[in-house]
Amino acid sequence: MKTLAHDLRQRLQSRDALVAVVGLGYVGLPLLAAFHRAGFRVLGIDTDPAKPDALRRGLNYLPHLGDDLARPFASGQRFEATTDHARLADADAVVVCVPTPLGPHHEPDLSYVTRTARDIGRHARPGVLVVLESTSYPGTTRHDLLPALLDASPSPRTPGVDLFVAFSPEREDPGRTTHTTRTIPKLVGGLDDPSRDLAVALYSGPVDTVIPVASAEVAEAAKILENVFRAVNIALVNEVKTILEPMGVDVWEVIDAAATKPFGFMPFYPGPGLGGHCIPIDPYYLAWKAREHHTPARFIELAGEINTAMPARVIDRLARALSDRGTPVKDARVLVLGLAYKPDIADVRESPSLELIRLLKDRGARVEYSDPHVPRTHRMRRHDLVMASVPLTPKALADADAVLIATHHSAFDYAAVARHARLVIDTRNAMAPYAREMGDRLVRA
Ligand SMILES: NC(=O)c1ccc[n+]([C@@H]2O[C@H](COP(=O)([O-])OP(=O)(O)OC[C@H]3O[C@@H](n4cnc5c(N)ncnc54)[C@H](O)[C@@H]3O)[C@@H](O)[C@H]2O)c1
């Protein structure tokens, strides 16, 4: 007997299927391009009209992905982009890549996910495959996404028969050039076996290695474990840094030394705090869910505490270094290098640089920043900084009482920093090659 699952599998295997991607940000855009490159017809949907607009013209708005990414879209071949969720009626598979932020009390905000689920439920036809990619706690796909889908469907649906639902975590690392959407192995967990098998068939197009796991919950939890693992290990090296500092031992040299062990150690590096969408936010999703089950999440909470304290520690260290030179921080000019949260990308979400600037301004310092990837700042969730990047000239460096390296973009001329800056507070070990030349003008923090 021909079932809806059988039909869909055939369309996925022959690449006849129309794959819709909802949410065309850091996760959704590369995925849309990957499905397109794999030969599928694709439909991109985003509530921000600027994104479909740009893609229709073949323009990519995420510079780290390169200009070529969106160029094939300009021809309109096998490609459409829109703000209209009603177009979901045409889709065979829908991949959901909308934000999963935190609310004001660090609680999960699943409103984007449930709103999207209702849009899909309202419009999609029987037999559609829905895959959630947005990071969330275990149980989200089954207990948040599915009820919203069913609730909004105009006629009753039976999961595993005429509605297929799976979770597949995104493992994108913007800016990393050694791995691509095709080469990063993809976990897939379904709410039932037919859903899992169809999701495996979907991703086998654009991804080399697709790994089915026992359930959507395993896939959801695996993603959060990956992010908690990073948050905890970064907190650990941040703590080790503060332990070693008064002993005069350089944590960077220690990590490099330990990393020569060929097994049982993996290097993580300290920094001025956490940034981006994943590590500062996702662990709290698990901690929140743990509370519902009255289970303590002490490692996660402790890592959060240590990592969130880092910007203040860095500013204390900067203030001490300035005051040793006779300049109170309230009279100082500080130039912050790097506003993005990691090198060579333009993403400033949750960037510790924003917190560093706020803390410096609170203490009365005059602050400027330089970041070739972020020409200006705008209002964000927790910060209301309106500033413009200054060029990194010898004069800008020499005029600053302190230069604070927050992000080690490769575009910065560190030799010029070493030559012209009066005092450098380096949170990224970017100035290691110039340490001898700089002497006590260089402070690692
Ligand atoms: N950025 C990363 O490196 C990364 C890595 C792995 C997982 N994730 C996860 O992926 C998810 C998306 O993250 P992102 O970084 O791509 O976010 P993003 O903010 O870059 O993109 C989200 C997009 O969704 C759009 N959107 C919001 N509501 C919508 C709706 N109802 N319909 C259609 N579009 C809508 C927004 O306009 C935006 O373009 C999050 O859950 C995040 O945790 C992110």
Digit-coded pLDDT (tens) for 306-329: 999 999 999 999 999 999 999 999
Alpha carbon of 352 to ligand 1 centroid (Å): 20
| Ligand 1 pocket mutation, candidates 109, 115, 170, 341, criterion most atoms within 8 A of CB | 170
- Mean pLDDT, all residues of the chain: 95
* Domain extents in the chain: 4-214, 230-444
| Ligand 1 pocket mutation, candidates 22, 27, 284, criterion most atoms within 8 A of CB | 27
Alpha carbon of 227 to ligand 1 centroid (Å): 16
Averaged over 369-379, what is the pLDDT? 91
Angle between helices 298-324 and 282-292 (to 10 degrees): 140
pLDDT for residue 233: 97
CATH superfamily ID and name for 230-444: NAD(P)-binding Rossmann-like Domain (3.40.50.720)
On whether the CB atoms of residues 74 and 81 are closer than 8 A, the answer is no
Other C-beta atoms lying within 10 Å of the C-beta of residue 343: 16
**Residue that is written with structure tokens 């209301």 in the block:** 384
- Which residue has the least CA distance to atom 33 on ligand 1? 46
pTM for the whole structure:
0.92
Beta strands (DSSP E) in 209-337 are: 210-212, 333-337
Averaged over 184-201, what is the pLDDT? 98
Q: How far is CA 206 from CA 15, 32, 36, 200, 402, in A?
A: 11, 10, 8, 11, 47
Q: What percent of the chain has pLDDT over 70?
A: 99
Condensed to tens digits (0 to 9), the pLDDT of residues 39-82 reads 999 999 999 999 999 999 999 999 888 889 999 999 989 999 99
Which member of 8, 213, 278, 335 is catalytic? 278
Residue 97 a catalytic site member:
no
At the top level of CATH, which class does the domain 4-214 belong to?
alpha beta
Averaged over 259-263, what is the pLDDT? 97
- The minimum-distance atom of ligand 1 relative to the CA of 100 is 41
Q: Is 144 in the pocket of ligand 1 (CB under 6 A)?
A: no
Count each helix (H run) and each strand (E run) in the chain, helices first: 15, 13
Condensed to tens digits (0 to 9), the pLDDT of residues 331-373 reads 999 999 999 999 999 989 889 999 999 999 999 999 999 999 9
Which candidate, 386, 384, 383, 425, places its Cα nearest to that of 402?
425
CA 14 to CA 204: how far, in whole Å?
12
In b/e form, how buried is each residue of 322-336, taking b as 16+ CB within 10 angstroms? beeeebebeebebbb
Q: Is 172 in the pocket of ligand 1 (CB under 6 A)?
A: yes
Q: Which two tokens stand for residue 358?
A: 């706020």
pLDDT for residue 382: 67
Q: Is 140 in the pocket of ligand 1 (CB under 6 A)?
A: no
Averaged over 279-297, what is the pLDDT? 91
pLDDT for residue 381: 65
pLDDT over 90 (residue 104): no
pLDDT for residue 185: 97
Q: In what order do the strands lie in the sheet with 41-45?
A: 79-82, 41-45, 18-22, 93-96, 128-132, 163-167, 186-190, 210-212
